[in-house]
Amino acid sequence: MDKNFTFITMKNFRKPFLKLLILLIISIIIVISLKGCASMGTNPDRDNVSMFKHSMHYDANKNMFVNRNQDAIDEMWDKNITFTIMIDMFKGRKILKPTTKLPELKPDLSVFLQQDSDLRVIWFGHSSFMLNIDGIIVLVDPVFTNSSFPVNIMNKRFQPPVLKLNELPVIDYILISHDHYDHLDMKSVKYFIDKKARFVVPLGVGSHLKSWGIPHDRIVERDWWVTAKFDSIQFIATPAQHFSGRGLFDRNKTLWASWVIKSKNHSVYFSGDSGYDIHFKAVGKKYGPFDIAFLECGQYNNQWREVHMFPEDSVTAFKDLRAKKFFPIHWGMFILSKHPWNDPPKQLYALSKTHKIDLIIPKIGQLVNVNHTFQLEEWWNGDK
């Protein structure tokens, strides 16, 4: 049986409410598909596939990209995690989100844009952040719209972005980890149609961008372990243990990745979305040590531990990478699992004391100079 349908089982339909809920969600997705909703993007066509079908990470028999241990991921899907994710998005939401607006700071962009050798970062919540690395401005997984779902009324962000898209400085590169809605947002991408920014993405993701109007000559696609080299900066696609897809029938049609970012003075690691696996140690050995690692540490659940990390997994990954500073991401803006919104920083703060980790958890919008000592405040404890 096609694993896209394994979550629709008789066991799941025993409770009338759950049956109604899952049918409603599926109906919404089908309606969006039938209407040709542009936000779902466009999967690689036959010509695109011919360019990457020889990738070591593409299974030509299954017509899909695969993880190192794809059998374990397939087993996870067999346990109906799609159904579980959908239910968790609606169950107990009041206790999962902040009761008040999260503290935020409007960043001083004149300071952020200073032309020197310091590494600066502004976090926008979840996995969206902006780097000034040797004067080059890199925007990572930008999601500036109201929702992490194609239907705008579902899974709204906790609060508006601290900067609007038209308030951003000139962006040189936009780095994308994979095509899930909470990492690849159509409206945010389309803002850059007439801008100069180049998009650096995993194999196949360029098909979405081109369908939204980004010129093909501003899109660079890379397989794992392959470098996109520009004048003074390199982006190296590295493995992640995850999956892709924006609809019911397109799972793993595009690749997912973590990224190494190297300039003259700095080396940065960005995990994208990933469960813990041996690739962290391999990346650390080949490209480490890193000045800083941006590591996912939120939206965890035992039922999908293969594709998302618990805080203790993230700490192990951090050590494998041989990074100097730890910047946790993939939390603090959307509800995608059933843990309280501030559980990730609470756990990581405690772990950082035990493992003597240099932890950076800024307020949303707070300008961080990675070259300087960061004064950590437990601001997430204001919401009990």
pLDDT at 9 over 60: no
What are phi and psi for residue 173, nearest 5 degrees?
-140, 145
pLDDT tens digits, one per residue of 276-298:
999 999 999 999 999 999 999 99
Looking at 88-92, 249-253, 290-294, 311-315, which range is the least confident one?
A: 88-92
What's the DSSP call for residue 218? G
Q: Would you place residue 120 in the very low, low, confident or very high pLDDT band (cuts 50, 70, 90)?
A: very high
Quote the pLDDT of residue 15: 54
Cβ neighbours of 308 (radius 10 Å): 23
Q: DSSP string covering 184-202, please?
A: --HHHHHTTTTS-PEEEEE
Q: Is the pLDDT of residue 310 over 90?
A: yes
Structure tokens at 29: 């997705």
pTM, entire model: 0.90
**Residue 319 binned pLDDT confidence (cut-offs 50, 70, 90):** very high
More confident residue, 17 or 332: 332
Give me the chain's average pLDDT, please: 89
Note the maximum CA span of the chain: 62
In this predicted structure, the answer to whether residue 88 has a pLDDT above a threshold of 70 is no
pLDDT tens digits for range 27-79: 555 555 544 478 889 999 998 899 898 999 999 999 999 999 999 999 888 77
pLDDT classification of 5: cutoffs 50, 70, 90: very low
For each of the domains in the chain, give its residue range(s) and CATH number, in order of start.
109-382 (3.60.15.10)
C-alpha 298/C-alpha 340 separation (Å) is 10
Q: What percent of the chain stands above pLDDT 70?
A: 84
Give 199-258 pLDDT, tens digit per residue: 999 999 999 999 999 999 999 999 999 999 998 999 999 999 999 999 888 999 999 999
User: CB atoms < 10 A from the CB of 261, how many?
Assistant: 27
pLDDT number for residue 53: 87
Q: Which two tokens stand for residue 169?
A: 């400085």
pLDDT of residue 76: 86
Minimum mean pLDDT among 8-12, 109-113, 132-136, 313-317: which range? 8-12
Query: Cβ(47)–Cβ(257) under 8 Å?
Result: no
Decide: 267 and 133 in contact? Cβ < 8 Å.
no
Is the predicted pLDDT of residue 175 greater than 90, yes or no?
Answer: yes
Over residues 172-177, mean pLDDT: 98
